[in-house]
């Protein structure tokens, strides 16, 4: 069963269309990331799902219950949604325990039960000792964990997270991402998470939807979008890509200036089609040899790997290497075996599986 189903959704602000016929499904216990440049409509979609924005067309259903459709608009508080924001949105005058209790104290008359639930939530987010502190006495990561506990105490069916890690310093961010991901998974909560950061999207989501100007360009597993983008827009948004002019010579092979390259999956392009072979920096291999077809022209040590620029047959290629190579090296450039990604000139889209 889908936790969320958005079908043919359009939204506008004062007559200007922001979302245009957008459809998206989030499965039970799945974390979906909405990734895209500033202003492309990610927050607008979250607001529409939360019921904070009227829709002009389409349908939104949560666990098969229609929330928005023609003549139907369920109010936000009846949608059973938890929301987490970039700025935590905690009440400054309440302590941590009171902030967490806030979401249920008006619905739950039994004070003892409220206290037990707060203690449970504090333990879940590893803040059991900090219930008496006020938000200003906590770090950004701790404040965001309070916000998560406050959202979870009401047992939401769906959690919406709007750039929740943007204010967290980079040292703590990856740890918090792992922690919150595990928490959502262990509690069986489906979530939609908005970010501009591809690193956060890769680390936090099961699937990601890449936005472009009010529509979704491609949706799928992060690895699939990274390795098999359907358009150059997706390829470039998700990381550095080299483009090598190529011509398809049979169902599995393309011809480039570096010679023929064989794909591990059948090409879905016409024989004779010309276009661009997309290669990620890790898909190119360099071996030191004086008779090599390439020359190293630039290098940068980046800690976990090194970035190396190579000139080969008139092309400049970006390659990721484990170690720095000797300066001004002659190298042999080869392409590691993989299912090739090829964008035919005629389509501007991926034509090779």
Q: Using CB under 6 A, list all residues that contact ligand ATP.
A: 13, 18, 36, 38-44, 196
Residue 41 or 275 with smaller CB distance to ligand ATP:
41
- Using only C-alpha atoms, what is the Rg of the chain? 25
Rounded Cα–Cα distance for residues 145 and 155 (Å): 16
Residue 12 or 25 with smaller CB distance to ligand ATP:
12
Residue 37 or 251 with smaller CB distance to ligand ATP:
37
Quote the least distance from Cβ 162 to ligand ATP, whole Å: 8
Residue 43 or 256 with smaller CB distance to ligand ATP:
43
Quote the least distance from Cβ 39 to ligand ATP, whole Å: 4
Rounded Cα–Cα distance for residues 238 and 168 (Å): 22
Residue 165 or 342 with smaller CB distance to ligand ATP:
165
- Order of strands, edge to edge, in the sheet holding 341-344? 259-262, 253-256, 242-250, 274-279, 341-344
The tokens for 298 are 């630039």
Quote the least distance from Cβ 209 to ligand ATP, whole Å: 12
Quote the least distance from Cβ 223 to ligand ATP, whole Å: 24
Residue 39 or 348 with smaller CB distance to ligand ATP:
39
């Amino acid at each position: 069963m889908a936790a969320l189903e958005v079908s043919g959704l359009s939204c506008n602000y004062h007559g200007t269309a922001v979302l245009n016929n957008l459809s998206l499904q989030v499965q039970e216990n799945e974390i979906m990331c909405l990734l895209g440049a500033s202003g492309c409509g990610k927050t607008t979609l979250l607001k529409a799902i939360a019921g904070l924005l009227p829709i002009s067309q389409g349908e939104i259903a949560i666990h098969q219950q229609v929330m928005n459709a023609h003549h139907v608009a369920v109010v936000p508080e009846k949608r059973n949604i938890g929301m987490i924001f970039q700025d935590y949105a905690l009440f400054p005058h309440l302590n941590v325990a009171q902030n967490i209790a806030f979401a249920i104290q008006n619905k739950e008359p039994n004070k003892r039960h409220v206290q037990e639930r707060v203690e449970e939530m504090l333990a879940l987010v590893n803040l059991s000792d900090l219930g008496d502190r006020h938000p200003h006495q906590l770090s950004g990561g701790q404040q965001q964990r309070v916000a998560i506990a406050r959202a979870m105490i009401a047992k939401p069916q769906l959690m919406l997270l709007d750039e929740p890690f943007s204010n967290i310093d980079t040292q703590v961010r990856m740890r918090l991402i792992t922690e919150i991901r595990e928490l959502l998974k262990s509690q069986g909560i489906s979530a939609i998470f908005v970010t501009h950061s591809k690193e956060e999207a890769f680390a936090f989501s099961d699937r990601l939807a890449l936005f472009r100007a009010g529509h979704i360009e491609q949706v799928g597993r992060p690895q699939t979008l990274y390795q098999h983008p359907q358009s150059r827009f997706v390829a470039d948004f998700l990381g550095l890509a080299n483009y090598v002019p190529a011509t398809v010579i049979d169902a599995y092979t393309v011809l480039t200036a570096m010679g023929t390259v064989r794909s591990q999956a059948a090409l879905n392009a016409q024989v004779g089609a010309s276009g661009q072979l997309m290669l990620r920096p890790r898909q190119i291999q360099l071996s030191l040899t004086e008779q090599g077809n390439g020359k190293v022209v630039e290098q940068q040590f980046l800690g976990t790997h090194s970035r190396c620029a190579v000139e080969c047959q008139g092309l400049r290629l970006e390659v990721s290497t484990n170690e720095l190579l000797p300066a001004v090296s002659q190298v042999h450039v080869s392409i590691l075996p993989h299912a090739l990604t090829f964008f035919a000139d005629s389509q501007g889209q991926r034509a090779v599986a």
